[in-house]
Amino acid sequence: MNPPSEPEIITEQRGHLGLITLNRPGKLNALTHEMVKGITAALNRWADCDAVQTVAITGAGDRGLCAGGNVVSLHHDVTVGDGLTAAAFWRDEYVMNARIAAYPKPFVALQDGIVLGGGMGVSAHGSHRIVTERSKLGFPETTIGYIPDVGAAWLLSRAPGELGTRVALSGETVGAADAIFLGYSDAFIPSHRLSALLAGLETDEPGHLIDEFSEDPGEGLMAAQQEWTDHAFSATRIVDVLQRLHDSGEAEALALAELITSKSPLALAVTLEAVHRAASLRSLDAVLIQDYRVSRRSSGTHDFAEGIRAQLIDKDRKPHWSPAAHEEVTRETVQEFFEPPAEGDLVLPPSFQIGMNLHFIHITEDLDEVSAWYQDVFGGHATWAASPEFPYLEVEARNADLIVIGNTIVEPMAPAKQVDGWADKPVGRFLKKFGSRWQTMSWYVDDVQGVYRRIADSGVRFFMLGGEHGDDGLGDNNCFFTHPKDTFGGLEFASYASENPRRGYAGDPRFLPHFDQSRWATHHPLGIERLAYQTVVVDDLDRAVQFYVEVLGGEVVFESRSDLTGTRNKMIRLGTDSIVEIAEPFDPTSLAGKDLARNGVFFHALTWKVTDLDKAAAHLTSKGVRILDGDDELLIADPATTHGAVHRFTSFDVPGDPRDASRPTT
């Protein structure tokens, strides 16, 4: 009877430490698909475990953390199979890389010994990266006719000068000092002290411990060679890089030119392009999406199969590259590597969590009148101050109130006409162009920077308070707004209050323990149970749904076609408490159709779930609100009688509603 096989990864909880050990020491802990899935599962499990405060990764044996991916198995798939097994491996690996980079807890990577390729992917994106006197780090992919992946170009394009380009092309490994200099690693700790470091992490936070254990790594080689490296590797063609290395006259440069000449000309050209492109990408996620494109294209090339054969299977170290000369690699061929694969781009899960709706902005000309109307018709709760200067905000020259209605906050907002220049501020410009209507949907998020990076990768335009463009980053801002044409409706994302993340934005009353939304259902004639959904009108339903699902992490829960609203609809579950209805009008005479024709893609309506539709209609009518149209499930109020904002009322429960299934009783 054969003894049971050793697990390929070992996960264990030691006090407050979650420890991942790569356990294939005989294969230098090379990553298999099952290992990748196991690492991701452990990270997901520990992310929500309060007992685990730090996660660390190490490798079994004393030769290294990880020598990369199990490329021999990938070789079999791309030469004998259909390449889909390799594609699945890369998808899951890149998801894991992104998860490590955005992990909500400290992630300590022990980069001891050999750390190559995929080993860099499981370590170099962590928050605390430790090298030792035995460390040899690098990206050797061009040696096997492949291109550095696992987010390598993100790191390499941000290394000092052109040193990242150099090591990407050459496949050089570097020691501890150079790894820190290049940005692969953070601190040097002698290998004999790693066990004590792990023991300390069971009870202590990593920053303090690493400072205590760290030592000087000594001098590296890269800094002294940066001048001629920058000159040579700033060239945009491989032949020019090689020529500049030869012209430098430096012995190290000549040796480097010889090393690079042995690599795949095709892989070198694509690698150079990948690093250059990554320099202008805004996030690691964007680079990983690029990596997937390049990997899928590379897997079908002659050089990928030939490089693995020569280096790892036959081991004759004599690859026959095709094309064989750098001059034979065309610009058109290189560009093909960056096109989306047939099955579509890599879709990465969001690194952030969208919470509850913060508020919905209703632009109006008369703030006092509209605020009083919401309190009268909807039973809106007394306004609460979002900041000491509320309701006036100088940077936008506007006034606003925050009206609590059930589980929802509506923010009526008007230009501060008493201030000179109000008409040139965002609210004034909006009012002049579109009149009174809904403007923005807003959500709390746990990582506003993460949302910003995610949306930025989609080419979205951003604005800060006051209308300042935010395309260069958030800076110190804790919220941002998107251009409605870019995100299928104007969106705002805001951080939870820093002093207490569970209390919302500056004392949002909905987070208070005594808050009870049921009173709107039980003690007010409109009978609002909750906000049912918010509607965006679009001219391309599929593309809008793709954005809300793939970029924001939403989920389609229901589809419908309504003759009453004149729209085809998909309901998207988004965040902890909201449903977004994406509506594409098919009837140009409908309210939604007219809104789209007049204003383009826009946040169109709020739909409220009420306990009794007939009673709601009677109450609305008594308050001067005209019912424009309706049936036995939905009423549409005339926006001419609701200060320009479209309000709907329904008795319909949306399938998949993320909120508690229990409803207030009358």
Predicted confidence (pLDDT) per residue in 18-37, tens digit: 999 999 999 999 999 999 99
Q: Give CA–CA dist 569/545, Å, rounded.
A: 10
The partner residues of 482 in beta bridges, in order of sequence, read 462
When pLDDT is cut at 50, 70 and 90, the band that residue 273 belongs to is: very high
In this prediction, residue 495 carries a pLDDT of: 87
Predicted confidence (pLDDT) per residue in 150-179, tens digit: 999 999 999 999 999 999 999 999 999 999
Q: Give CA–CA dist 603/581, Å, rounded.
A: 10
The partner residues of 603 in beta bridges, in order of sequence, read 536
Q: Give CA–CA dist 272/232, Å, rounded.
A: 13
Residues in the chain: 666
In this prediction, residue 384 carries a pLDDT of: 55
Torsion angle of the four alpha carbons 84, 85, 86, 92, in this order, in degrees rounded to the nearest 10: 110
Q: Which residue has the higher pLDDT, 606 or 387?
A: 606
When pLDDT is cut at 50, 70 and 90, the band that residue 660 belongs to is: low
In this prediction, residue 170 carries a pLDDT of: 97
Predicted confidence (pLDDT) per residue in 225-248, tens digit: 999 999 999 999 999 999 999 999
- Percent with pLDDT over 70 in the chain: 94
Residue-averaged pLDDT of the chain: 91
The partner residues of 173 in beta bridges, in order of sequence, read 138
Mean pLDDT of 617-643: 96
Indicate whether 473 pLDDT > 80.
Answer: no
Q: Name all contacts of 552-556 with Cβ < 8 Å and 24+ positions apart.
A: 552/350, 552/354, 552/454, 552/455, 553/349, 553/350, 553/354, 554/580, 555/656
Indicate whether 386 pLDDT > 50.
Answer: no
Contact criterion met (CB below 8 Å) for 309 and 290 = no
Please give the C-alpha separations between residue 3 and each of 6, 26, 193, 275, in angstroms, as whole numbers.
9, 17, 33, 46
Predicted confidence (pLDDT) per residue in 442-453, tens digit: 999 988 888 998
Contact criterion met (CB below 8 Å) for 537 and 585 = yes
In this prediction, residue 464 carries a pLDDT of: 81
Q: Which residue has the higher pLDDT, 510 or 568?
A: 568
Please give the C-alpha separations between residue 366 and each of 180, 363, 415, in angstroms, as whole numbers.
59, 9, 9
In this prediction, residue 1 carries a pLDDT of: 37
In this prediction, residue 504 carries a pLDDT of: 55
Predicted confidence (pLDDT) per residue in 419-469, tens digit: 888 888 889 999 999 999 999 999 999 888 889 988 888 888 888 877 777
Query: Torsion-angle region of residue 197: left (phi > 0), alpha (psi -120 to 50) or beta?
Result: alpha
When pLDDT is cut at 50, 70 and 90, the band that residue 507 belongs to is: low
Please give the C-alpha separations between residue 430 and each of 418, 424, 606, in angstroms, as whole numbers.
17, 9, 19
In this prediction, residue 657 carries a pLDDT of: 76
Indicate whether 130 pLDDT > 50.
Answer: yes
What would the two tokens of residue 424 be? 């040139």
Q: Give CA–CA dist 276/274, Å, rounded.
A: 5
| 39-43, 205-209, 435-439, 475-479, range with the lowest pLDDT | 475-479
In this prediction, residue 513 carries a pLDDT of: 83
When pLDDT is cut at 50, 70 and 90, the band that residue 388 belongs to is: very low
When pLDDT is cut at 50, 70 and 90, the band that residue 663 belongs to is: very low
The partner residues of 535 in beta bridges, in order of sequence, read 581, 605
Q: Give CA–CA dist 658/560, Å, rounded.
A: 18
Q: What share of the chain is helix, strand, coil (3-state, %, to 5)?
A: 40, 20, 40
Is this structure's pTM higher than 0.95? no
In this prediction, residue 654 carries a pLDDT of: 87
The partner residues of 109 in beta bridges, in order of sequence, read 57, 129
| 184-188, 367-371, 512-516, 621-625, range with the lowest pLDDT | 512-516
Indicate whether 191 pLDDT > 70.
Answer: yes
99 three-class SS: helix
